[in-house]
Structure 1
Amino acid sequence: MPMLRRPALERYVQTRFGPTARLLSYGVIGKESSKGEQKRYGYGTPVKLTFRVGRLVQSAVLETMKPGPFGHEHMADRAQAILWDYDSYGRLSHHVKALDVGAFDANQALFSLAEAREFFVLNEWTDGESYHVDLARLAKGGRLRKLDRQRTVALARYLAQIHAKKRRAADLYKRRLRELIGHGECIMGLTDSYPKRCGFITGDLLRTVEEACNQWRWRLRDKVNRLSQVHGDFHPYNVLFRTGADFAVLDRSRGEWGEPADDVTAMTINYLLNSLISRGKLQGSFEILFRLFWDTYVEVSGDKEVTETAAPFFAFRGLVVASPLWYPNLSIDIRRSLFRFIENVLDVPRFEPELVNEYCGL
């Protein structure tokens, strides 16, 4: 919770409203004080500030948001809501005006973000080559190298390592399952992005997939002890290999914690996709790597239950790679195999890696 200190508040008021501004009092509404004491307030507790700018005395309410369920677990959740408040309040008739939007730094100083329009993140540079280059080489008939196996093992071991970090937060696990279905980047966002009709892919088919995934959400929602550290978007374009099996990962997404099956399916669906494109089924080098990844992950993590939670995450990743928006050049036969895979995986209680071609109807 923030520590509100009079000097920090006064510096903030002067920065925002001009050097002549003077803080007169601050505190919980109805309990304001002009004393210079330090006060600690819980996030979500409105604090009234009264200050003078020249001859004008005015008041404002400093509001924060309390961490908690209903989509407010992460700092980014709360930032999103507060930025929306500042952007939207002034556009509604009779609504009180938002005078500023800002943040606390590590030293509890306040600073304004009112001039912000869009946000960015500046990442360090790292050398390397995207893992999709390896898969493209194999899809073109390249020889399966010892290094290909080593890299697959390294990726599976990496996931087992990060997934070993657990967190007790039942509401957060349920939230991540809820977001899997309804988030704009996940299942419903994807189904809404499909054209009205794309060959055999109709609205009825997409609705059936959504409904089956929601049934899986109810099946999984009590497995809260599975909440683990995750990457969140662990596909080949987000892995850069350097020398040998040394690699870096990019662009983790949608939260620090989640269901381990999300990461495992995100990578392994790409072995299936590339094999369907190059061979019409899962076989050869891609079948070897697919099975090697699953076997290594289960052995190192000890997580045999992951095959019982994989189905809706495979559906999500399957909707991505079958999408005419993201993969416009796939043949209708490959899309059909992917949708058979989605439907059949959703229809069984446990995913069996050795049955992939059966799931695809091949």
Structure 2
Amino acid sequence: MADHEEVESYLSEVFGKPVQLVRIIPMGAEPGEKELKGFGYGKPYLVDYILEGEMRSSVLSSMKVQKGFGHDTFADRAAVILWQNAAFNSLPRHVRSIDAGFFTRHGSLKSAGDADEFFILMDRVSGIEYYRDLDRIRDASFFHQLDVDRALALSDYLVYIHSQKHGDPVLYHRRIRDLVGSGECIMGIIDSYPKDYEFYREEDFERLEKKCVEWRWKLHGMTHRLCVVHGDFHPWNIMFRNGVDFTVLDRSRGEYGEPADDVSCMSMNYLFYSLQKYGELKGEFKELFDRFLENYLTKSGDFDVLRCVQPFYVFRALVMASPLWYPGLAPDVRRKLFKFIDNVVEVEEFDYRDVNGYLKG
């Protein structure tokens, strides 16, 4: 991390006015808090500073240097940061990016050619991550009307952004190709699994990949579906404040894509939490799953999403079943996630009224 003076100088350059840096502290879990999600990319820092006599806060974040998930090289990570800086501000309700820059090899921050790693500077937003609501429902069985209202608000949000279509077949083909073959998605997640994994063997992954390639060609002609998407619409990327007021974070992998991506990402989390509590889709989480999807289908009129969502569910379930991303998950939940994967990838139309049927066999 750059020193105090370097950060202060960088902020003064960005805002074109003198900035007095107050503090830089790492952001993360509260002391003693146990998080289910055990793996992440970068470490964000909270930056407090004074600009024109006003106290302000921003978040400075870079990507963790690591192998895998398509982030192996400096150029891979640079592409993500530069895209985020350009794309965050074009999506309604998304946290605002202020700037993208570089850490140089000498520890300074600037926009220059001797970059060593990229970072992004964003507004700090208030609120509580949505996953904490789902934790409460799972752990304390405390469920009320606001939980339903929030699920509907998230569904309405997707209806709105997905209504903004974009006519570019090449972009649609790329998003579907990346879903199957990129380092961040299906094949990259599969490569991160341990060899001879006890719940799913190499031959199982090979068979699954072949089925997903078939899905790539099933979706190849659906280019008219290309629209504005978030791309990583899960409960860790949503900050709620009072009522149904929220901000989204960290949109991913492109401004446009297949609407089934966002729909699967959120609805899969309702199933995921229900599996942890009940071993099936049941109770409060079934109500959230049903209301979220039914509201989306009714208001968007996009029932074709049920014929496109299968490989996206495979991707999300592979992440959730992963011992790298969710190391503390119960074995029975992993087994049911793989059963869900095996069954969903085979059906031509997803039956959201019989999700538990995909957990059997």
Instruction: Please confirm whether the aligned pair reaches a TM-score higher than 0.5, indicating the same fold.
Output: yes
The residue identity in structure 2 corresponding to 1:223 is: M
Aligned counterparts of 1:208 and 1:295: Cα–Cα separation in 2: 32
C-alpha offsets along residues 99-154 of structure 1, whole Å, 9 cap, x if unaligned? Answer: xxxxxxxxxxxx97312111111110110000000000010142320000000000
Structure index of larger Rg: 1
Q: Counterpart in 1 of 2:166?
A: 167
Query: What is the identity, as a one-letter code, of the residue corresponding to 1:142?
Result: S
**Could you tell me how far apart the structure 2 residues matched to 1:350 and 1:198 are?**
30
Is the 2:179–2:185 Cα contact (8 Å) retained in structure 1? yes
Contact 1:199 1:332 in 2 (8 A): no
**2:117 aligned counterpart, secondary structure:** coil
Determine the structure 2 residue equivalent to 1:146. Answer: 145
Match of 1:277 in 2: 276
Query: Separation in 2 of the partners of 1:324 and 1:115?
Result: 37
Distance (Å, rounded) in 1 between the aligned partners of 2:336 and 2:214: 23
Gaps of 5+ in 2: 1-74, 83-109
Q: Superposition pairs for residues 1-362 of structure 1, below 5 Å?
A: 80=79, 113-361=112-360
Q: Which moved more, 1:287-296 or 1:134-143?
A: 134-143
Aligned AA (1:258): G
Mapped partners of 1:346, 1:253: distance in 2: 24
Instruction: Provide the C-alpha distance between the structure 2 equivalents of 1:355 and 1:205, rounded to a whole number of angstroms.
Output: 24
Assess if the C-alpha contact under 8 Å between 1:180 and 1:187 holds in 2. yes
What SS does the corresponding residue of 2:142 show, helix, strand or coil?
Answer: coil
Identical-residue share of aligned pairs (%): 49
**How far apart in 2 are the matches of 1:112 and 1:317?**
36
Give the number of the structure with larger relative contact order, counting CA–CA contacts within 8 Å between residues 6 or more apart.
2
Deviations 1:33-58 (A, max 9, x none): xxxxxxxxxxxxxxxxxxxxxxxxxx
Change in CA separation of 1:116 and 1:154 when aligned onto 2, cut-off 3 Å: same
Displacement of 1:205 in angstroms is 1.0
Letter in 1 for 2:330: S
Q: Deviations along 1:270-326, whole A, 9 cap, x unmatched? A: 111111111111100000000111001111111110000000000000000000111
Matched residue of 1:140: which SS?
helix
Change (3 A) 1:112 1:123: closer
Q: Which amino acid aligns with 1:347?
A: E
**Contact persistence 1:183–1:189 (CA under 8 A):** yes
Q: CA RMSD in A?
A: 2.0
Asked if the contact 2:199–2:334 (Cα under 8 Å) also holds between the matched residues in 1, the reply is: no
CA contact (8 A) 2:314 2:345 kept: yes
Would the alpha carbon gap of residues 146 and 224 (structure 1) be closer, same or farther in structure 2, given more than 3 Å must change?
A: same
Instruction: Tell me if structure 1 keeps the 8 A contact 2:270–2:289.
Output: yes
- What's the counterpart of residue 62 of structure 2? none
Give SS of 1:118's match: strand
Aligned-partner residue type, residue 227 of structure 2 = S
TM-score, normalised via structure 2 length: 0.69
CA distance in 2, matches of 1:358, 1:199: 23
Secondary structure of the corresponding residue to residue 117 of structure 1: strand
SS of residue paired to 2:239: strand
Give me the whole-angstrom Cα distance separating, in 2, the residues matched to 1:254 and 1:339. Answer: 25
Contact 1:240 1:249 in 2 (8 A): yes
Is the 1:315–1:346 contact (alpha carbons within 8 Å) kept by the matching residues of 2? yes
1:200 CA drift (Å): 2.6
- Aligned partner of residue 119 in structure 2, secondary structure: coil
| Secondary structure at 2:115 match in 1 | coil
Q: Separation in 2 of the partners of 1:200 and 1:303?
A: 35
Deviation at 1:197, TM superposition (A): 2.1
Partner letter of residue 118 of structure 2?
F
How far apart, CA to CA, are the structure 2 residues paired with 1:116 and 1:304? Answer: 47
Q: Which residue of 2 aligns with 1:46?
A: none
Unaligned runs of 5+ in 1: 1-75, 84-110
One-letter code of the match for 1:266? Answer: C
> Aligned pairs, how many?
259
Separation in 2, partners of 1:257, 1:207: 29
